[in-house]
Structure 1
Amino acid sequence: MAQQTNYDDFAQAYSDENESSLLNAYYERPAMLELAGDVSGRRILDIGCGSGPLAAALLERGAQVEGFDSSVAMINLAQRRLGERVRLSVARLGEDLPYAANTFDDAVASLVFHYLPTWNAALTEVHRVLKPGGRLMLSVNHPLLYPWNHPGKDYFKPTLYTDEFTFKGQRAELTYWHHPLHVMADAFLKAGFHIERIWEPPFSKDAPEEILPENLRERDAFLSFLFFELRT
């Protein structure tokens, strides 16, 4: 049976991979920053901040950032990167968060919601800590990936599954929950969010050719993650 992903087991290897990989450095992170737009002076919560690359980029753009992650090892790496500029906490999405209501202008959640079996409690808590009119920008595994990579599986059935990866030579298993798109949308609306944008972005034109698979070198986009911009 698939187990919950424990990033403490491979935090450094994942962080190192994240710095320069096609999926993270030239696809997911640039898309999240484009969704965020002008963040100067905005107070932003980085949900599942990992080792802090997105928080660092938001800081460079003038935001005030706080972050949390369930992995102690990841928070230690983020603290090393960000120093005293960012208040970091060990906390778990889906449980009570250590922030007062109406605290943040925005929240970002990169590739974290797909670890949850249900989203309602997590979204309600994020909604609580956002100011009225605040935004939540999140990315998750594209729901088509599960039946695509696991032929014969039912797209419409929420399902727990595990995929294997190698990060800087270290093997790791990531365990996800697959949710069809309508289940995601229903959870957003039930938590009180308005859906402002659903996006399947291109990857960055800055991606070095040597990290692009041959079949992507004549294309602008590929199927991997799905992005949402929500507002309270």
Structure 2
Amino acid sequence: MSHTQYDKTADVYDDSLNVLTYPAYVEEPTYRAVIGDVRGRNVLDLGSGTGIWTRRIKQVGADRVEGVEVSAPMVDVSRDKEREDPLGITYHVADVTKGLIEGLAGCFDLVTGINVLHYSSSRSEIAGMCGTARSALRPGGRFVATCANWDMPDDPEYYAQYGLSCTVPPNREEGTKAIVETTMGGEHITLDFYLWRRETYADTLRAAGFRTIRWHDWQVSPDGIEKHGAEHWKRFLAIPSIHLVEAHV
């Protein structure tokens, strides 16, 4: 899994929350509902980026919270936030496709992974991520993650009203590289990701030791309806750019 494309966005990444409309009004409320009450729980955030979700999880009462991210500049930003506003979060620089950091096995009740699975360029990398998540969990634990939608439209501008465009090559195959374009900090940003069928993710999760797999539908928050109107969200809900999966040990 490459880290270089995110190295260059570390200083402006958080601005994506000002550009994209769906994270605040669709992704966040649905994700919070699926994660549930984390008070007193130990949580590991895979692909923690600049610590956006890592910090949110700690702020709602999680006990031990740690983040793992392959991009060192992204982790630097996370650690800067921690120094400025300490929450007690530990961040690690590591490639989650290559196994779990020593000392973390079986320590967590919940593993999260926002927008990390679809950066797997091969089945073995998906297996590595799923295996890392499973190794970190205690009995009864859960892995909650998002992944790109294999069925996203060929039209690059389908998601334009939500702040991004996605270019998918014709005749897509499993592992096809796709491109997302948006703006961060006033800069035009292009990022690569990979398309895999939901069945591939589910099969890999089961092979890693997860017993039950559930795919969740996205829900728009009342604030999202009030600000943008119900019509605004119909295209996203009909064919979302990402899926939300929950896997139980």
Report TM bin, short chain. Answer: 0.7 to 0.9
Secondary structure, aligned partner of 1:101:
coil
Instruction: Tell me, yes or no, if structure 1 residue 97 matches structure 2 residue 100.
Output: yes
What is the TM-score when the length of structure 2 is the normalising length? 0.81
Aligned partner (choices 107, 111, 118) of residue 115 of structure 2: 111
The structure-2 alpha-carbon separation of the partners of 1:120 and 1:86, relative to structure 1 and needing over 3 Å to count, comes to same
1:92 Cα deviation after fit: 1.2
Secondary structure, aligned partner of 2:77:
helix
Q: Which runs of 5+ in 1 are unaligned?
A: none
How many residue pairs match? The answer is: 229
The answer to whether the Cα contact below 8 Å between 2:75 and 2:93 also exists between their aligned partners in 1 is yes
* Between 11-20 and 165-174, the greater mean CA deviation after superposition: 11-20
The structure-2 alpha-carbon separation of the partners of 1:77 and 1:62, relative to structure 1 and needing over 3 Å to count, comes to same
* Between 10-19 and 66-75, the greater mean CA deviation after superposition: 10-19
The structure-2 alpha-carbon separation of the partners of 1:229 and 1:101, relative to structure 1 and needing over 3 Å to count, comes to same
Instruction: Tell me, yes or no, if structure 1 residue 68 matches structure 2 residue 71.
Output: no
The answer to whether the Cα contact below 8 Å between 2:202 and 2:213 also exists between their aligned partners in 1 is no
The structure-2 alpha-carbon separation of the partners of 1:79 and 1:213, relative to structure 1 and needing over 3 Å to count, comes to farther
Residues 10-34 of structure 1: CA deviation (Å, up to 9, x unaligned) = 1222212226731322222322211
* Between 104-113 and 65-74, the greater mean CA deviation after superposition: 65-74
The corresponding residue for 1:23 is 22
The structure-2 alpha-carbon separation of the partners of 1:47 and 1:113, relative to structure 1 and needing over 3 Å to count, comes to same
Aligned-residue CA RMSD (Å) = 2.6
Secondary structure, aligned partner of 1:226:
strand
The answer to whether the Cα contact below 8 Å between 1:146 and 1:155 also exists between their aligned partners in 2 is no
Q: Which amino acid aligns with 2:186?
A: G
1:181-192 correspondence runs (5 A): 181-192=198-209
1:148 Cα deviation after fit: 5.6
1:107 and 1:120 map into 2 onto residues whose CA distance is 15
2:234 and 2:168 map into 1 onto residues whose CA distance is 26
Instruction: Tell me, yes or no, if structure 1 residue 39 matches structure 2 residue 46.
Output: no
Q: Which amino acid aligns with 1:73?
A: P
Q: Which runs of 5+ in 2 are unaligned?
A: 157-166
The answer to whether the Cα contact below 8 Å between 1:158 and 1:177 also exists between their aligned partners in 2 is yes
The corresponding residue for 1:216 is 232
1:220 Cα deviation after fit: 8.8
Q: Which amino acid aligns with 1:92?
A: D
1:6-17 correspondence runs (5 A): 6-17=5-16
The answer to whether the Cα contact below 8 Å between 1:44 and 1:63 also exists between their aligned partners in 2 is yes
The answer to whether the Cα contact below 8 Å between 1:5 and 1:174 also exists between their aligned partners in 2 is no
The corresponding residue for 2:50 is 51
Secondary structure, aligned partner of 1:221:
helix
The answer to whether the Cα contact below 8 Å between 2:16 and 2:183 also exists between their aligned partners in 1 is no
The structure-2 alpha-carbon separation of the partners of 1:189 and 1:30, relative to structure 1 and needing over 3 Å to count, comes to same
What is the TM-score when the length of structure 1 is the normalising length? 0.87
